[in-house]
Structure 1
Amino acid sequence: MRRVWMRELAGWLGALGVAIIVAAQVAASARSELLFRDGDSLIVAMLARSLLDGGPQDWALSSVLFLPEAAVFAGLDAALPFDANGVFAVSAVVNFLALYGALRVAAGRRREGRAPVAWALLGLVTFGLVAATDTTASRDALDLASLQLTTTYYSATVVGGVLSVGLARRVIDRERGGAGLLVALGAVAAISTLSNPLYAAWATVPLAVILASSALRRAGRGRMLTLLAVLIGGTALGFLGRIPFAAWIANTGAGYAQPERWTESVAYYGGLFADRLSTPLGVLGCLLTLALIAWAVRRTIRAEDAGARLVAAAAWVLPVLVVVGAVALGTHAARYLQPVVFAPVLALVAMPRAVRLPRRATRQLVAVVGVLVLVGAALSVPRLANAANAPDPDLDCVTDWVDTSGRTGAGQFWTVRLPKLHAEDPAQLVQVDHQLNGYAWLVDRRDFDPGEVSFLVEDAQTVQWQLPVQAIPDEVVVCGRYRILDFGDARLPLGPPHS
């Protein structure tokens, strides 16, 4: 028993080292924009900090509620003496660790001739290699693996999808019982769907197809049908659980489905794929993913048991169905295709056979790998810290001015969100459109209560203002890439909010 726990602990420590190395590598690239500064990427931090502050909440969110992500961020923010960027950095590491935990569940129980810890760790390393090939600053790119490091782009849904495959495998592997695992699967499906209905497309539908196909076999039919019922039932409960949050859901996501635009969707994703192949690292990432998918198909055919077959099939069925579904619905968002990079890693844990080596050679190999991971993690901590603490005098200039002013101002979505997060009182910066109407999107609608503002923040992303009243700023404060239009005693009325 002690040896088992030592192996499990070693796996988690190795995963921690890998997570730190990958997070530091991505944070040191142009991809750091999505980790620390992108307007979309800041919503979880804003939501978590607002919840920690207490008081009434009136958020306008998308179809995603970010419940697990906000809970983790709030817990880290309350426990750690870091600023927002520091918590973002730690969250990136935690997200990767959570993925390892899900892969470890998918690798199955330890038994003779199996090495699930080693293969789960190898799966995380492989996924980390794909993430390290992501180098663009764009949120609209097929640099998908690195999105697992962010708080916004569905990291909890990724973990929930892999964990669901793992729990289903654990139920199938058991000869009898497994009620607790079934409850866990239903809970994961319910919570994941409650927070993000995309779970239904990423996990419920593909797994339902696999389970229904497996049920055609006489052996294990009852267990497959039970798993299918629990999965669908948990997903249905998750959708029902969204009803009390209806006031917070400013967009149900139904409008994103435009089947008549499927040809445009093909062209869009095809263009992103071509961009991905335009760099050597992008080619490497694609080759790794394609190799895993091919390996998954092979392992599906040669699976030793039903549990291994389920995991191997999920590794290629999820990407295929998600891509086909995204195109058929006419979507135009790269982040919807994340199963293309995380699901194929399941091929590595489908049949985690132990590699037979002499005991001395095994110990030496483990020692060498352990030292490499330890050294890599030790060298990566300063890199990650430097990326999180990179000076931004332009941002500091804006937040210092806003904090000192004691007044309420406004800015457009892509401009104001970063200063809003870092200001002492986020309510001092109201999110508006170019006509000064409140823009109720990924923000607390209580911000619009003052009804007027006395300064505007703008940058290169700001659309030309069309103010509702004639007004000339008393002063223009230049803060590097930002400008603050200070209207002094004049008050600019806010228009009606919209999403």
Structure 2
Amino acid sequence: MRRVWVRELAGWFGALSLALLTAAQVASSARSELLFRDGDSLIVALFARSFLSGEPLNWAMSSVLFLPESAVFSGLDLLVPLDVNGLLAVNAVINMLAFYGALRLVAGRRKDGGAPVAWALLGLAVFCTIAVTELSASRDALELASLQLTTTYYSATVIAVVLSVGLVRRALDRESMSLGLPIALGATAALSTLSNPLYAAWATVPIAVLLAILTIRSRQRFRLALLLGVLLGGTALGILGRIPFRAWIANTGAGYVQPERWAESLGYYGGLVADRLSTPGGVFGCLIVLALLVLAVVRTTRAVSEGSRFVAAISWLTPVLVVIGAIALGTHAARYLQPVAFAPVLALVALPRAGWMPFRPRSLLAAVAAVLLAIGGILSIPRLAAAAEAGDPDLTCVTDWVGASGRTGAGQFWTVRLPKLHLDDPAQLVQVDHELRGYAWLVNRDDFGVGEVTFLVEDAQSIPWNLPAPAIPDEVIDCGRYRILDLGDTALPLGPQRS
């Protein structure tokens, strides 16, 4: 028993080192834009600050509520004495650790000749390798593994999908299934669907299809049917659970479904693949994914148990179904294809055998790898801290001026969200469109109660203003990439809200 705990603890320490290495590398690249500064990426931090401040929560969210992500970030904000960027960096490491924990669940219990900890750690290492090949600042690039480091791009949903696969695998591997596993599966499905309906596409559909196929052929028909029913029931409960939050949901996501545009969608995603293959790192990352998919198919045919066959099959079936579904529905967002990056990794933990190497050389190799990982993780801490603490004088210029003014101003979505997050009082900046209408999207609607603003913040991403009344600024404050148009005593009324 003691050896088991030592092995498991070593796995978690190895995962921590890999998480630190990956977060430091991504945060030191242009991809750091998504971690620390992107307008979309800041929703969880903005919401968590709003929640902890005790102000009324009259939020306009997308179809995603970000409930688990917000709970984690709020907990960090309460417990860890760091600024916002520091918390985002720590959250990135936690997301990767959670991914390892989910992989460890999928790898199953240790049996004779098995090495689930080592294979789970290898799976994380491969996933991290894909992530560090992703170097662009674009949220629309087909660089999907590094999105797991963000608080926004469905990190909790990714973990929930892998957890669901692990729970089904554990249920299939046991001779007698306890009720705890189906209950945990149903709860995961319900909470995940409540927070993000995309769970139904990434987990419920592929797992349900596979369970239905296995039910026809397997001797464990009752167990498979029970798991299928619990998964579908949990997903349905999650959808119903969204009803009390309907006032928060500014967009149900139905508008994203445009099946008549499937040809455009195919061209769009094809272009993303071409862009990804235009760099050596992109080619290497794609080759890793392709190799994992081949391994998944091979392991599906060679599986020796129901549980291992299920994991191997789901690791290639999920990306296939998700890609086909995304194109058939006419979607145009790279983030919807994240299962292409994480699901094939499950092939590595489908059959977690110890391998052919004798015990002593294997132990020596493991010890050397552990030392190298520990050194790499320790050296990555200051690098990650430096990336999180990197100065932004333009941003500081804006927040200092706005804070000292004691007044309320406005800016457009992509411009205003970063300064808004870093203000002591985020309500001093109101999110508007170019016609000064309140832009109720991923923001607290209570901000619009101020009714009028006396300065505007703009940058290169801002659409030229079309103001309801002439407004000549008394002064233009140059803050590098930002400009503040100070209207002095002139107050501009906010228009009606839109989303």
Q: Please report the TM-score for the alignment, with normalisation by the length of structure 1.
A: 0.99
What amino acid is aligned across from residue 478 of structure 2 in structure 1?
A: V
Q: In the aligned structure 1, how far is the partner of 2:218 from the partner of 2:304?
A: 17
Q: Which residue of 1 aligns with 2:399?
A: 399
Q: Which residue of 2 aligns with 1:293?
A: 293
**1:498 partnered with 2:498:** yes
Q: Which residue of 2 aligns with 1:215?
A: 215
Q: Which residue of 2 aligns with 1:447?
A: 447
Q: Which residue of 2 aligns with 1:413?
A: 413
Shift of 1:382: 1.1
Shift of 1:177: 2.8
Q: Which residue of 1 aligns with 2:63?
A: 63
Alignment of 1:254-403 (within 5 A): 254-403=254-403
User: What SS does structure 2 have at the residue aligned with 1:411?
Assistant: strand
What amino acid is aligned across from residue 27 of structure 1 in structure 2?
A: A
Q: In the aligned structure 2, how far is the partner of 1:46 from the partner of 1:99?
A: 24
Q: Which residue of 2 aligns with 1:129?
A: 129
Alpha-carbon displacement from aligned partner over 1:403-429 (angstroms, at most 9, x marks no partner): 100000000000000000001100000
Q: In the aligned structure 2, how far is the partner of 1:99 from the partner of 1:471?
A: 51
Alpha-carbon displacement from aligned partner over 1:442-475 (angstroms, at most 9, x marks no partner): 0000000010000000000110001111111000
User: What SS does structure 1 have at the residue aligned with 2:143?
Assistant: coil
Alpha-carbon displacement from aligned partner over 1:35-72 (angstroms, at most 9, x marks no partner): 00000000000001111111321000000000000000
Q: Which residue of 2 aligns with 1:93?
A: 93
Q: Which residue of 2 aligns with 1:116?
A: 116
Alpha-carbon displacement from aligned partner over 1:189-215 (angstroms, at most 9, x marks no partner): 001000000000000000000000000
User: What SS does structure 2 have at the residue aligned with 1:477?
Assistant: strand
Q: In the aligned structure 1, how far is the partner of 2:314 from the partner of 2:46?
A: 35
Shift of 1:175: 1.0
What amino acid is aligned across from residue 406 of structure 1 in structure 2?
A: G
Q: In the aligned structure 1, how far is the partner of 2:402 from the partner of 2:471?
A: 20
What amino acid is aligned across from residue 383 of structure 2 in structure 1?
A: R
Q: In the aligned structure 2, how far is the partner of 1:70 from the partner of 1:376?
A: 30
Q: In the aligned structure 1, how far is the partner of 2:320 from the partner of 2:12?
A: 31
Q: In the aligned structure 2, how far is the partner of 1:462 from the partner of 1:56?
A: 29
Q: In the aligned structure 2, how far is the partner of 1:336 from the partner of 1:298?
A: 26
User: What SS does structure 1 have at the residue aligned with 2:357?
Assistant: coil
What amino acid is aligned across from residue 389 of structure 1 in structure 2?
A: E
**1:246 partnered with 2:246:** yes
User: What SS does structure 1 have at the residue aligned with 2:137?
Assistant: coil
User: What SS does structure 2 have at the residue aligned with 1:441?
Assistant: coil
User: What SS does structure 2 have at the residue aligned with 1:404?
Assistant: helix
**Percent of aligned pairs sharing the same letter:** 71
Alpha-carbon displacement from aligned partner over 1:218-265 (angstroms, at most 9, x marks no partner): 411111111100100000010011011000000000010000000000
What amino acid is aligned across from residue 26 of structure 1 in structure 2?
A: V
User: What SS does structure 2 have at the residue aligned with 1:449?
Assistant: helix
What amino acid is aligned across from residue 318 of structure 1 in structure 2?
A: T
User: What SS does structure 2 have at the residue aligned with 1:438?
Assistant: strand
Change (3 A) 1:308 1:218: closer
Q: In the aligned structure 2, how far is the partner of 1:313 from the partner of 1:218?
A: 15
What amino acid is aligned across from residue 271 of structure 1 in structure 2?
A: G
Q: Which residue of 2 aligns with 1:161?
A: 161
User: What SS does structure 1 have at the residue aligned with 2:246?
Assistant: helix
Q: In the aligned structure 2, how far is the partner of 1:218 from the partner of 1:418?
A: 54
Q: In the aligned structure 2, how far is the partner of 1:125 from the partner of 1:365?
A: 16
Alpha-carbon displacement from aligned partner over 1:61-112 (angstroms, at most 9, x marks no partner): 0000000000000001111111100000000000000000000000011111
Q: Which residue of 2 aligns with 1:479?
A: 479
Q: In the aligned structure 1, how far is the partner of 2:306 from the partner of 2:41?
A: 39
Q: In the aligned structure 2, how far is the partner of 1:4 from the partner of 1:48?
A: 38
What amino acid is aligned across from residue 11 of structure 1 in structure 2?
A: G
Shift of 1:178: 2.0
Alpha-carbon displacement from aligned partner over 1:273-307 (angstroms, at most 9, x marks no partner): 00000000000000000000010001001111100
**1:204 partnered with 2:237:** no
Q: Which residue of 1 aligns with 2:150?
A: 150
What amino acid is aligned across from residue 420 of structure 1 in structure 2?
A: K
Q: In the aligned structure 2, how far is the partner of 1:49 from the partner of 1:181?
A: 35
What amino acid is aligned across from residue 121 of structure 2 in structure 1?
A: L
Q: Which residue of 2 aligns with 1:185?
A: 185
What amino acid is aligned across from residue 347 of structure 1 in structure 2?
A: A
User: What SS does structure 2 have at the residue aligned with 1:82?
Assistant: coil
Q: In the aligned structure 1, how far is the partner of 2:11 from the partner of 2:479?
A: 47
Alpha-carbon displacement from aligned partner over 1:155-176 (angstroms, at most 9, x marks no partner): 0000000000000000011111
Shift of 1:378: 1.2
Q: In the aligned structure 1, how far is the partner of 2:221 from the partner of 2:129?
A: 38
User: What SS does structure 2 have at the residue aligned with 1:251?
Assistant: coil
Alpha-carbon displacement from aligned partner over 1:120-172 (angstroms, at most 9, x marks no partner): 00000000000011011000010000000000000000000000000000001
Q: In the aligned structure 2, how far is the partner of 1:223 from the partner of 1:117?
A: 27
**1:30 partnered with 2:25:** no
Shift of 1:356: 4.2
Q: Larger deviation: 115-124 or 351-360?
A: 351-360
Q: Which residue of 2 aligns with 1:233?
A: 233
Shift of 1:364: 1.5
Q: In the aligned structure 2, how far is the partner of 1:359 from the partner of 1:328?
A: 50
Shift of 1:367: 1.5
Shift of 1:433: 0.2
What amino acid is aligned across from residue 332 of structure 2 in structure 1?
A: H
Alignment of 1:68-79 (within 5 A): 68-79=68-79
Q: Which residue of 2 aligns with 1:173?
A: 173
Q: How many residues of Structure 1 are paired with residues of Structure 2 in the alignment?
A: 499
Q: Which residue of 2 aligns with 1:437?
A: 437
Q: In the aligned structure 2, how far is the partner of 1:495 from the partner of 1:237?
A: 38
Q: CA RMSD in A?
A: 0.7
Q: In the aligned structure 1, how far is the partner of 2:218 from the partner of 2:120?
A: 31
Q: In the aligned structure 1, how far is the partner of 2:442 from the partner of 2:188?
A: 25
Q: Which structure 1 residue ranges, 5 or more long, are not aligned? A: none
Q: In the aligned structure 2, how far is the partner of 1:299 from the partner of 1:345?
A: 12
User: What SS does structure 1 have at the residue aligned with 2:278?
Assistant: coil
User: What SS does structure 2 have at the residue aligned with 1:247?
Assistant: coil
